[in-house]
Structure 1
Amino acid sequence: MGKKVVITGVPGVGKTTVINQTISELAAEAVEYQNINFGSCMFDVASGQGIVESRDEMRKLEQAKQRELQRSAAQFIAKTEGNVIIDTHCTVKTPGGYLAGLPEWVLKELMPDIVVLVETDEDQILMRRMGDESRVRDAEGYRALCEHQEFNRAMAASYAMLTGCTVKVIINADDLLDRAVEELKDILR
């Protein structure tokens, strides 16, 4: 039986970069993890149904449809054996408010061992987002990013209450990727 680790962060925090670097370095130590992107699982289902053409469109779907997609992704991931990193968002900012990225029915399927929040200074996130032309993101200012990161912390605490897992915050500051990777490696070993 493997370890299930949920790794979250607001868009633009560099979460996926930290994950990819960590997995690469751990592989050299013969510590294997499968990285599953929760949003990609949801997108595969949604695009197969012909209801979206890009991942960014999913957060604008009706809540009932988002719940259905979340459940399908969780069921797929729960069946995965070995050590698994679940790359996802703690919360999703929708036109109707924040949506839990891992609602109760998803958590009960996944039962993570730990939830990791990747964070950094909001100014750094804004700069990273402006430089990323590969995604279409809603415009958010400094205060909105502060609110989003704070809401993620509160939600991660509730996830821990529901599953008994622990919560860890890792800071991914500019030019300090190696430090964030070392922290994550220590958790995953």
Structure 2
Amino acid sequence: MKVVVVAGIPGSGSTTVLENALEDLDYVQVNYGDVMLEIAQGKGLVKHRDSMRKLDPDVQKQVQMEAAQEIRKRSRENNIIVDTHCTIKTPNGFLPGLPRWVLEDLQPDQFILIEADGDEILMRRVSDVTRSRDTERLEAINLHQEMNRATAMAYAVFTGATVKIIPNHNQRLDEAVEMMRETLSY
């Protein structure tokens, strides 16, 4: 069984790249945030996804742990792609999306970061009327991507997994999808 974690900050297009790449590959996609949301909603903590990052950090950690256990159950029989965020920007600072206890359960083989230029991400967020996102300046978007890189490497040091960065620029989705397919085929 292979476990691959795919991450990108909101607006990077990580989910879009992943969904297009998985059409011909033998992986089951699991969205970490969806599993967390199911758990949080089941406990009456939130009503919608965008309020997850505003939960008390200790509550977020508990929900993360329960989600890791649920995903681990699902990963026993299939190649798994975990679609998630390396870091979550909270009012108290950046929270690791995959803390030590999550990594211990998942034992991923690879981390793939999907990135775009900060101005591309900013425009994607502004154009996306389906989500309720906090407004951020370009500097904050760039910092968040830098934090993702640093965090992914820290995760790799802890797990022995590799880290691959795939650029996803406007009007070049096909290139990002092909790079993702090649990476997942190894």
TM-score bin, normalised by smaller chain: over 0.9
SS of match in other structure, 1:79 = helix
Task: Give the CA deviation at 1:16.
Answer: 0.6
Task: Give the CA deviation at 1:93.
Answer: 0.2
Counterpart among 69, 85, 88 of residue 84 in structure 2? 88
1:15 pairs with 2:14: yes
Task: Give the CA deviation at 1:53.
Answer: 0.3
Counterpart among 174, 180, 183 of residue 184 in structure 1? 180
1:149 pairs with 2:145: yes
Task: Give the CA deviation at 1:63.
Answer: 1.0
| Alignment-derived partner of residue 165 in structure 1 | 161
CA separation in 2, counterparts of 1:185 and 1:3? Answer: 15
CA separation in 1, counterparts of 2:129 and 2:68? Answer: 29
SS of match in other structure, 1:137 = coil
Q: Deviations over 1:128-148 (max 9, x none)?
A: 001111111111111001100
CA separation in 1, counterparts of 2:61 and 2:147? Answer: 20
What amino acid does structure 1 have at the position aligned with 2:103? L
RMSD over aligned CA atoms reads 0.7
| Alignment-derived partner of residue 72 in structure 2 | 78
1:138 pairs with 2:138: no
Task: Give the CA deviation at 1:77.
Answer: 0.9
Q: Deviations over 1:60-104 (max 9, x none)?
A: 111111011101111111122211110000000000000000000
Structure 1 moving runs of 4+ over 3 Å: none
CA separation in 2, counterparts of 1:162 and 1:104? Answer: 8
- How many residues end up aligned between the 2 structures? 183
CA separation in 1, counterparts of 2:83 and 2:180? Answer: 13
Mapping of residues 19-98 of structure 1, within 5 Å: 19-24=18-23, 26=24, 31-80=25-74, 81-98=77-94
SS of match in other structure, 1:102 = coil
Q: List gaps (5 residues or longer) in structure 1.
A: none
Report percent identity of matched pairs: 49
SS of match in other structure, 1:133 = coil
Task: Give the CA deviation at 1:188.
Answer: 1.0
What amino acid does structure 1 have at the position aligned with 2:181? K
What amino acid does structure 2 have at the position aligned with 1:90? C
Q: List gaps (5 residues or longer) in structure 2.
A: none
